[in-house]
Structure 1
């Protein structure tokens, strides 16, 4: 790593002002401090604007959108802004995490283009769900994520200093600008969920390796519970975007056809699961994913 490398933190937030306030306090405690903090306020209507106004964080830039762009649209805007401003590294961050004071320093000390911090919950338990195996070749793998840091190691202490991963969350992911030059920006078409998976797949296919840095600690302050909302509006996006990843990056025809098989299985099992609402979600998701088989033009490399 060059000592002259600059870094911008990019954060996307929507109606979670209290979480954002704690997260910004965590950024203020980083040593060394980042060169910029770019916050996309996704048209929040709570007291997010007040939190940002009194943050007093050096290098803070606030981009308030006219509409809610979703997490994917927010990260597209934030990464594009940081890249256009010339920062060497871009650290993607959600509003519900809290970095340890040395988290950024631990990452910046590793001379790799794609790095991610390692998450734990508020009790200190390892909850890093970055995939160590992400299978887009086997049509019998219902979920492409077949192994992850959390299940491979169990505890942070059991991890080696660096663990190669095959996808990431946009929660503590540090990327060099050369990667954006090569593969483009996060795709806003996802709206929410799987935009980070898409970005990681593209990075790996361009020849970049992604490393989880054991000692770069990031605390996740909310539980992972979104997978239980498959009958709600989030469920539609979870299904649709999972299907988009299969259609775009499946390594054979059978994998690319999996969305229809998954949709059929969900519909048949819906009386035992999410009922008609989940069945409607998965059918609509399978249909709509056909229109997103290619990377959006605004996400492509320039």
Structure 2
């Protein structure tokens, strides 16, 4: 049920799409099925050719599509959508990757939590759902920044909304009045780490980012690969060379950028350890394009230390 406290919010949704019509249509269907009314759905289609939408999705006059075959990435698309939503006086922008599908009551639960918690003294930057890996069933951990690294965490038996530095931006409800104090995501990051960078800047500006238990969203990441190590089952995510490059580059850049003093040294050591473990994982468990993926990780880490951003791979 939509309460009287939340039925006045103007919400626009946004999707970054790229070369996967099936995923885009599934995401659109899930957004269109929300109990809470969404006034506009923006799609930034980064595909070389415009993705075909299903008949039901084509018939929805709330859809606004911008085609960018040059591929402006997740950060570039989010930035355009945030600017558009601010200009059209929306209260919130609900941001998505195409690989996400929120439960029908997800937006309603996010807005209900916002209405209950937000005050003049407690400004909320993002309300995020509980993200669940659609293929493994594992809960995706939001992040905290611990001096020299971002680290995922889950509270014990969370019932009420809980704070983090950076939830994943897919499924996050961004309060648009933050734009007066915090610029949109850094387009130089292109496709990875946008949530870490944007979420932490919101926190540093005094806003609170919360994850709402019970507001569920299902998300697909890389290719999950399950192994048993020392009697325990472990799930690894495998990626393309391009994705490995941006993961290694952007995380190295962001963690080093936000580290101070002696933490900069421990950050460098941790990033080298991460690189080594990632290379071992690729060699041990990946069956496709091992040399390309290993090179992507090495170059990405090197560029991260240099601070070389942009669409470079």
**Displacement of 1:60:** 1.2
**Displacement of 1:56:** 2.1
Contact 2:223 2:237 (C-alpha < 8 Å) held by counterparts: no
The separation in 1 between residues aligned to 2:55 and 2:204, in whole angstroms, is 38
The separation in 2 between residues aligned to 1:211 and 1:11, in whole angstroms, is 21
1:135-169 Cα distance to aligned partner (Å, 9 max, x none): 1x15xxxx531x422xx44xxxx322211122111
The separation in 2 between residues aligned to 1:106 and 1:124, in whole angstroms, is 24
- 1:74: which partner in 2? 77
Instruction: Give the secondary-structure state (helix, strand or coil) at the position aligned to 1:183.
Output: coil
Counting only pairs closer than 5 Å after superposition, residues 1-150 of structure 1 correspond to structure 2 as 3-45=7-49, 48-51=51-54, 54-109=57-112, 110-111=114-115, 112=118, 113=124, 114-122=126-134, 125-131=137-143, 133-135=144-146, 137-138=147-148, 144-145=150-151, 147-149=152-154
**Equivalenced residues, count:** 281
- Name the stretch that deviates more: 277-286 or 265-274: 265-274
The separation in 1 between residues aligned to 2:137 and 2:237, in whole angstroms, is 21
Indicate the structure with greater helix content: 1
* TM-score for both structures, normalised by structure 1: 0.80
Q: RMSD over aligned Cα, in angstroms?
A: 3.2
Unaligned stretches of 5+ in structure 1? 297-302
Quick one: which of 300, 303, 310 aligns to 1:285?
300
Instruction: Give the secondary-structure state (helix, strand or coil) at the position aligned to 2:19.
Output: coil
The separation in 2 between residues aligned to 1:121 and 1:260, in whole angstroms, is 30
Quick one: which of 236, 248, 262 aligns to 2:257?
248
* TM-score for both structures, normalised by structure 2: 0.77
Contact 1:263 1:282 (C-alpha < 8 Å) held by counterparts: no
**Displacement of 1:256:** 6.4
Contact 1:161 1:213 (C-alpha < 8 Å) held by counterparts: yes
